[in-house]
Structure 1
Amino acid sequence: MTQQGVRWSADQVLALAPDAASRKAGSKLGAAGPWSEVGSSDEGAVWGLCKGSGSKPYQTVVDIADVSGPAYKCSCPSRKFPCKHALGLLLLWAGEDGAVPRGQAPDWAEQWMEGRRKRAQEKATAPSGTGTGDPEAARRRSERRAALVTAGVTELEQRLADLLRGGLAGAEQAGYALWEETAARMVDAQAPGLAARVRELGSIPASGPGWPVRMLEECALLHLLDQGWLRRETLPDRLAATVRSRIGLPASPDEPAVRDRWLVLAQYDTADARLTTRRIWLHGADFGRAALLLSYGAAGRAPELALPVGLVLDAEVSAYPGAGQVRAALGEQFAPPAPAPIRPPGITTAQAAVRYGEALLDDPWLESVPVTLDRVVPTPHGDTWQLADADGDTALPLTPTARSRPGLWRLVALSGGAPVKVFGECGHRGFTPLTAWPEGPGEPVPLY
């Protein structure tokens, strides 16, 4: 990249890996042994030939300076992006100076780069097509979908009433199949947000001791969402937009774009049988705003957008509609992502709990809020763990999800009993740490 004077760390490179197997295989290729004719250019290309099992080496090239994140090309047959060869090449480039010298790109790498630049230029100059649709047809489609959602909401309300009338014990006896059928009906009603919440509701009876309380809580939130939809015309505009978002209706960013230096705080994937969802948390270094980028990939494939932790983007970001909404869309980027020694400001655990409570006023269905805790120490508490303020007497419990991940032990090792700065998600189940920084100088440590 033109900013190649600042190297990425190995953690930032490995954060691009689509899965654990690619991470392990790429790490083995991060040494000079299998590589030949490696080089890099001022335009942001890194290339090399990697010896494989065949007679010809694999041609691998990475465009590091692409403003939407690194792009990759490799002649190997792998369907993973990036493949292990691209990861190994980036690890070699991120290592000691001189391992990947500056030079003139070979023809095969230059042709790929030129093709990318040409397609980017054509995309930038192509007409957007905004306003070419039929407004009346769009209105009729919107009304038809609203009618379908209303029918689904009405059916779900009846299902909840039957459950509470018969008693919560009936949910345990009925099993998951009944709720999966109800979720399928919500999908037919074009309300995917409701379908996801119904599936979560159906899994609660098998979630262990105390499930009736959790079941009642989720039923109440579903009922509140149903009533919000049925009475959406009487709600304030921003709350109505939140209800539509929770129901699962599509939306586009409607806030003015904010240009800032956006620090990548965390990136992690969640997957089910149908979809892989990537969440990328950003922090505006100049204005202090938080933003959540969502990217999706088909089952078994990593989403395309990849922004390793610790990079900073000079870019515009636009928020989606809704009260307290932090989801945003990444707009124009003015420079390639690059590492920077920026850290977000932190707050205490007590302030984090207050922040989540205030956010619930705008969005009662909010699971968590992004929070950076300053000077906290991971400590055991009975049979669980918590983050305790080093300078106070308050603490936040870790969520069950956080306690079951290896990232907890990375956090404990990083702390060693000393205070650390931790970014994560704070909600009603506790705190999920995603990234941590040591008290003194040091790079961010991903915990997911």
Structure 2
Amino acid sequence: MLTADQILALSPDDSSAKAARGLLAPAKWPTLGHDEAAIWGECQGSGSKPYQVIIDVSGPSFKCGCPSRKFPCKHGLALYLLLAQKQSAFTANTQPAWVNEWLSARQQRSEKQVEKKAAQAEAKPVDEAAVAKREAKRLDRMLGGARDLERWLADLVRQGIADLPAKPATYWRETAARLVDAQATGLAVWVRQLESAVSSGEGWQERALLQMGRMQLLTDALQRLDSLPEPLRHDVRGSAGWTADKDEVLAGNDRVGDTWQVLGVSHDENDKLWERRVWLRGLTSDRDALLLDFSHGGRRFDQVFVPGTRLKATLCFFPSAAPLRALLVDAPVEAAAGAYGEAVVTWDRALDSVASALARQPWFQRLPVLLHHATPVLRGRQWLARDADGREAPLRVSDDDGWQLLALGGGNPLTLFGEWHGVHWRPLTAWHPNEETPCWTEVLTVA
């Protein structure tokens, strides 16, 4: 069973968590029940009929009859919290019809998906010649976009970058749009990130030049793709915007079955497209893994991952010179809880690991770092993470979260996991030393 903190970590925003806490009185729930498969309840709302709320604990996955577009809604969070805090209030242990119907429908959909994949595998073989022709045509368009980007970067260097902060938004938008038209969506992302670096405040020149250097390296690599080793070729195409076919990835040989620690979960939103990153560490393989998912219009994902939990699963890694991104081969099974995996103690060791990964694959946008001895420190208006040797690195964290981390540690070190972005570290999860359950997880506030 999840703890209250782990349940609240599933909240889409602070307001939902706060509203869920206001629904913890059992009197507001005329029906409460649970068994090994599900948790259910009826919560009295403003209407005449109570909202029917169900949680499939294998996910967990949530279902609620309320009109909220948030997922999970306050009712689903409150129901889970009630079970964690007041289990004696759950008197029913036989599923009502409405619970059984929903669970059965989910099972049927899952079975149909399996059947569909099996049918596709047995379907008529793909016309490989036609596929190769389409891929060659798209690659040619991407190469054209890369050459255009290379000329654009050369113009920036020739004219100087001092006036880049004064460039209008249309300047960057139009450049990115041309790359999208060339089917090089990854290169368009790099342009938008360059715009962000230019507008990042003091010291932007160094960050912009670093971004431009990586972009130039990518355009060079894309134009001599055939001469690169195959793993690096996959990295170059992916960084430029070529989406790997999941079936091809799953057909690969880099499969790892392990018990995986969920170290952290992060979300980012761009033009209504939500990106979720789930960071895992294999307890036996000692491999890091990234599960990357997308959802349009809201943070709705089929599988829920809770920081601090452990899952037994087989992952298949994308081909890469430094494999990190992976796909689930099968549905994960919850494993017994335990302490976090091995963590580095100092920033020097952490950055050596980062440098090693970047030497093999220079276009990583973020890399996982688990630091055992991390003390939050405020210098002026900048939060930093101090290691065991007194070395400090910038934290990308809100002021409120910085103070909360400092308070949780009481001035003493915490174990922190986060994403290294090249110039700063975004903390996602914190533990007190040698404890199994996180004491803090990042909650992204959504307007």
TM-score by length of 2: 0.91
Q: Which position in structure 1 is the counterpart of 2:168?
A: 175
Q: Which position in structure 2 is the counterpart of 1:397?
A: 393
Cα RMSD after superposing both structures: 2.0
- CA distance in 2 between counterparts of 1:232 and 1:98 reads 63
Q: Which position in structure 1 is the counterpart of 2:423?
A: 429
Q: Which position in structure 2 is the counterpart of 1:3?
A: none
Query: Does residue 96 of structure 1 match 2:99?
Result: no
Q: How does 1:160-199 map to 2 (within 5 A)?
A: 160-199=153-192
Shift of the 342–418 alpha-carbon distance from structure 1 to 2, 3 Å rule, reads same
Q: Which position in structure 1 is the counterpart of 2:217?
A: 224
Task: Find the residue that maps to 1:406 and give its secondary structure.
Answer: helix
- CA distance in 2 between counterparts of 1:38 and 1:96 reads 11
- Aligned pair count? 433
Q: How does 1:349-388 map to 2 (within 5 A)?
A: 349-381=347-379, 383-388=381-386
Q: How does 1:102-181 map to 2 (within 5 A)?
A: 103-126=93-116, 127-130=118-121, 132=124, 133-181=126-174
> In percent, how many aligned pairs have the same letter?
37
2:342 maps to which of 345, 348, 372: 345
Q: Deviations for 1:311-337, whole angstroms, at most 9, x for unmatched residues?
A: 2111111111211131111121352x3
Task: Find the residue that maps to 2:26 and give its secondary structure.
Answer: coil
Query: Does residue 294 of structure 1 match 2:288?
Result: no
Q: How does 1:265-344 map to 2 (within 5 A)?
A: 265-333=263-331, 335=333, 337=334, 340-344=337-341
Q: 1:128: Cα distance to partner? A: 4.3
Shift of the 291–31 alpha-carbon distance from structure 1 to 2, 3 Å rule, reads farther
Shift of the 340–101 alpha-carbon distance from structure 1 to 2, 3 Å rule, reads farther
- CA distance in 2 between counterparts of 1:205 and 1:299 reads 28
Q: 1:47: Cα distance to partner? A: 0.8
- CA distance in 2 between counterparts of 1:329 and 1:246 reads 18
Q: Which moved more, 1:413-422 or 1:353-362?
A: 413-422
Shift of the 32–92 alpha-carbon distance from structure 1 to 2, 3 Å rule, reads same
Which ranges of 4 or more aligned residues in structure 1 deviate by more than 6 Å?
none
Q: 1:292: Cα distance to partner? A: 0.8
Amino acid at match of 2:136: E
Q: 1:265: Cα distance to partner? A: 0.9
Task: Find the residue that maps to 1:56 and give its secondary structure.
Answer: coil
Task: Find the residue that maps to 1:332 and give its secondary structure.
Answer: coil
- CA distance in 1 between counterparts of 2:325 and 2:91 reads 40
Shift of the 310–440 alpha-carbon distance from structure 1 to 2, 3 Å rule, reads closer
Task: Find the residue that maps to 1:141 and give its secondary structure.
Answer: helix
Q: 1:166: Cα distance to partner? A: 1.3
Shift of the 186–101 alpha-carbon distance from structure 1 to 2, 3 Å rule, reads same
Q: Which position in structure 2 is the counterpart of 1:4?
A: none
Q: Deviations for 1:102-144, whole angstroms, at most 9, x for unmatched residues?
A: 5111111112222222232333234241364321221111011
TM-score by length of 1: 0.91
2:48 maps to which of 40, 43, 55: 55
Q: Which position in structure 2 is the counterpart of 1:203?
A: 196
Amino acid at match of 2:82: L
- CA distance in 1 between counterparts of 2:407 and 2:366 reads 26
Amino acid at match of 1:29: L
Shift of the 442–259 alpha-carbon distance from structure 1 to 2, 3 Å rule, reads closer
Q: 1:442: Cα distance to partner? A: 5.5
Amino acid at match of 1:30: L
Q: 1:72: Cα distance to partner? A: 2.1
Query: Does residue 411 of structure 1 match 2:405?
Result: yes
Shift of the 172–99 alpha-carbon distance from structure 1 to 2, 3 Å rule, reads same
Q: 1:407: Cα distance to partner? A: 2.6
Task: Find the residue that maps to 1:429 and give its secondary structure.
Answer: coil
- CA distance in 1 between counterparts of 2:411 and 2:72 reads 37
- CA distance in 2 between counterparts of 1:173 and 1:52 reads 52
Q: 1:31: Cα distance to partner? A: 3.1
- CA distance in 1 between counterparts of 2:291 and 2:327 reads 6
- CA distance in 1 between counterparts of 2:313 and 2:224 reads 38
Q: Which moved more, 1:404-413 or 1:144-153?
A: 404-413
Q: 1:352: Cα distance to partner? A: 0.3
Amino acid at match of 1:149: M
Q: Deviations for 1:353-407, whole angstroms, at most 9, x for unmatched residues?
A: 11111111111222442121123322334553332333xx2423123x22x3533
- CA distance in 1 between counterparts of 2:417 and 2:300 reads 23
Structure 1: runs of 5+ lacking an equivalent:
1-6
- CA distance in 2 between counterparts of 1:118 and 1:282 reads 29
Task: Find the residue that maps to 2:329 and give its secondary structure.
Answer: strand
- CA distance in 2 between counterparts of 1:368 and 1:118 reads 38
Q: Which moved more, 1:229-238 or 1:12-21?
A: 12-21
- CA distance in 1 between counterparts of 2:368 and 2:351 reads 11
Shift of the 145–301 alpha-carbon distance from structure 1 to 2, 3 Å rule, reads same
2:414 maps to which of 411, 416, 420: 420
Q: Deviations for 1:191-225, whole angstroms, at most 9, x for unmatched residues?
A: 11110110121233332222222222211111110
Q: Which position in structure 2 is the counterpart of 1:31?
A: 25
Shift of the 441–193 alpha-carbon distance from structure 1 to 2, 3 Å rule, reads same
Q: Which position in structure 2 is the counterpart of 1:18?
A: 12
1:246 maps to which of 239, 245, 248: 239
